[in-house]
């Protein structure tokens, strides 16, 4: 049985926010949307999540620049690290969606793999990163004063294993998924198991818990945007207890304030998506979110092309994905075999494809 035992109470504010979340969630589930609209809303949310989560940690790229790095492979002099950060987070979100679609059990290896992607690992090749081997310290970037002293390295593995066990136990106990996600975010930040990338990984872990628990909202929302809009409130909510030392109060602190902040923010994010989706959705179209969940990053880029065109050539795919002709030939064959694309012109020099999934106009 897990030793981790967070202290909090479900206040009226939390209860009210949970009801708002459920109302917005159901509204989105019932809203008919075209595949094209869903693709746009989902990609917008992914770009916002990537930009704001990295911006929180000091990334200097604007939203437009981050989008161009991800979608067009553009580069900005002197911003190589910033570029790698946004690419890493975007890849981690892609891995997160795949894990959620499989309803995978969340384990330490899951978290370590997400962290590896955040830190620049390649999708499909990222090796789970081991926890830190020494002490880390969180300092105020301006004054240099110590803000928080995390637990010693020798305790990290035990604390992380305990957190994973607590998540599994409370999933079965019926503790609302949004509250589990809030507590996991807090505890991961508390343990601070890595020298770098803790904040980004904590936010990804919370999102993964929500997605697996059925709170993916078709991938349309970005909690990171909510945090970044008022960073002082985000940090103040995470600062719990009187001590700067993990062993002197933080572990036993009442985290009701943090849970309240997280749940209210989630309600606001869900309601924002609800308003935007209602405004853009066209009545009478079928829901094809399951199709979108099965698409990988390359397929999503190709899907975006079809928002402005009815067909695509192999040469256009080469340029869009920056791949060699031979690779594109194999890729297109697999997409045709899987039912994603349909050949409409089989000539070798100008082979042309259209989507083989139904798109609303």
Give a yes or no: residue 113 inside a domain: yes
Query: What pLDDT, on a 0 to 100 scale, did the predictor assign at position 345?
Result: 67
Residue range 69-101, pLDDT digits in tens:
988 888 999 999 999 999 999 999 989 988 998
pLDDT band (50, 70, 90) for residue 6: very high
Domain count, the chain: 2
Determine contact, residues 88/121, Cβ cutoff 8 Å: yes
User: Final residue of a domain: which of 230, 249, 280?
Assistant: 280
What pLDDT, on a 0 to 100 scale, did the predictor assign at position 227? 94
Whether 175 and 306 share a structural domain: no
Q: Residue 254: pLDDT band by 50, 70, 90 thresholds?
A: very high
114 plus 139 within the same structural domain: yes
Please tell me whether residues 236 and 338 are part of one structural domain.
no
Of the ranges 43-47, 140-144, 183-187, the best mean pLDDT one: 183-187
* Strand ranges in the chain using DSSP code E only, listed in sequence order: 138-139, 146-148, 312-313, 341-345, 352-355
Lowest mean pLDDT among 38-47, 55-64, 136-145, 281-290: 281-290
> Per-residue pLDDT for 284 more than 50?
no
Does one domain contain both 151 and 263? Answer: yes
Can you give the pLDDT at residue 283? 42
Does 288 reside within a domain? no
Q: Are residues 70 and 155 in the same domain?
A: yes
pLDDT of res. 78? 92
Whether residues 316 and 259 fall in one domain: no
Q: Do the domain assignments include residue 4?
A: no
Burial 323-353 (b: 16+ CB within 10 A, else e): eeeeebbebbeebeeeebbeeeeeeeeebbb
Question: What is the domain extent for residue 70?
Answer: 12-280
Top-confidence residue, 78 or 243: 78
Backbone angles phi, psi at 67, to 5 degrees: -65, -40
* 164 and 246 assigned to the same domain: yes
What CATH number does residue 340 fall under?
1.10.10.10
- What pLDDT, on a 0 to 100 scale, did the predictor assign at position 290? 63
Distance separating alpha carbons of residues 276 and 222, to the nearest angstrom: 13
Residues 267 and 306 reside in one and the same domain: no
**H/E stretch holding 239:** none
Average pLDDT over residues 174-191: 95
User: How many residues belong to the chain?
Assistant: 361
Q: Which CATH number belongs to the domain containing residue 273 in this structure?
A: 1.10.3290.10
Residue pLDDT, tens place only, 299-328: 888 888 876 676 888 888 988 888 888 898
pLDDT classification of 288: cutoffs 50, 70, 90: low
211 & 307 share domain:
no
Please indicate whether residue 163 or residue 354 has the higher confidence score (pLDDT).
Answer: 163
Classify residue 208: in a domain, yes or no. Answer: yes
Asked whether residue 56 is assigned to any structural domain, the reply reads yes
pLDDT recorded at residue 361: 39
**Residues 145 and 276 occupy one common structural domain:** yes
Tokens of residue 330, six digits: 């194999």
Tell me what the mean pLDDT of segment 244-256 comes to.
Answer: 86
Q: Which residues contact 308 (CB under 8 A, 6 or more apart)?
A: none
More confident residue, 65 or 338: 65
**Least confident segment among 52-56, 62-66, 199-203, 296-300:** 296-300
**Where among 239, 255, 280 does a domain terminate?**
280
Same domain, 316 and 227: no
Together in a domain, 221 and 350: no
* Amino acid 252: pLDDT: 82
Q: How far apart are CA 177 and CA 25, in angstroms?
A: 13
């Amino acid at each position: 049985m897990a030793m981790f035992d967070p202290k909090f109470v479900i206040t009226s504010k939390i209860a009210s926010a949970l009801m708002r979340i459920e109302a917005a969630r159901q509204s989105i589930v019932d809203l008919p949307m075209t595949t094209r609209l869903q693709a746009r809303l989902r990609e917008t949310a992914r770009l916002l999540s990537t930009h704001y989560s990295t911006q929180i940690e000091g990334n200097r790229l604007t939203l437009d620049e981050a989008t161009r790095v991800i979608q067009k492979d553009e580069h900005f002099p002197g911003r190589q690290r910033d570029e790698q950060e946004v690419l890493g987070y975007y890849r981690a979100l892609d891995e997160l969606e795949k894990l959620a679609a499989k309803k995978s059990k969340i384990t330490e290896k899951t978290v370590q793999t997400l962290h590896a992607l955040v830190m620049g690992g390649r999708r499909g090749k990222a090796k789970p990163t081991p926890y830190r081997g020494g002490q880390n310290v969180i300092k105020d970037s301006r004054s240099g004063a110590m803000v928080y002293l995390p637990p010693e390295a020798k305790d990290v593995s035990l604390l992380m294993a305990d957190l994973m066990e607590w998540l599994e136990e409370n999933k079965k106990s019926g503790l609302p998924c949004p509250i589990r996600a809030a507590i996991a975010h807090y505890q991961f930040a508390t343990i601070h198991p890595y020298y770098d990338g803790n904040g980004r990984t904590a936010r990804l872990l919370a999102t993964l818990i929500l997605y697996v628990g059925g709170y993916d909202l078709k991938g349309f929302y970005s909690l990171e945007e909510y945090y970044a809009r008022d960073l002082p409130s985000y940090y103040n909510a995470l600062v719990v207890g009187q001590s700067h030392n993990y062993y002197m109060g933080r572990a036993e602190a009442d985290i009701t304030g943090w849970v309240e902040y997280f749940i209210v923010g989630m309600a606001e994010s869900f309601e924002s998506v609800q308003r935007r989706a209602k405004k853009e959705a066209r009545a009478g179209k079928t829901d094809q979110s399951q199709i979108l969940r099965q698409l990988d990053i390359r397929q999503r880029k190709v899907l975006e092309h079809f928002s402005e065109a009815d067909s695509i050539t192999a040469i256009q795919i080469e340029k869009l994905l920056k791949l060699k002709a031979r690779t594109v030939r194999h890729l297109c064959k697999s997409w045709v075999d899987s039912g994603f694309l349909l050949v409409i012109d089989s000539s070798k020099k100008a082979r042309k494809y259209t989507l083989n999934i139904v798109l609303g106009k």
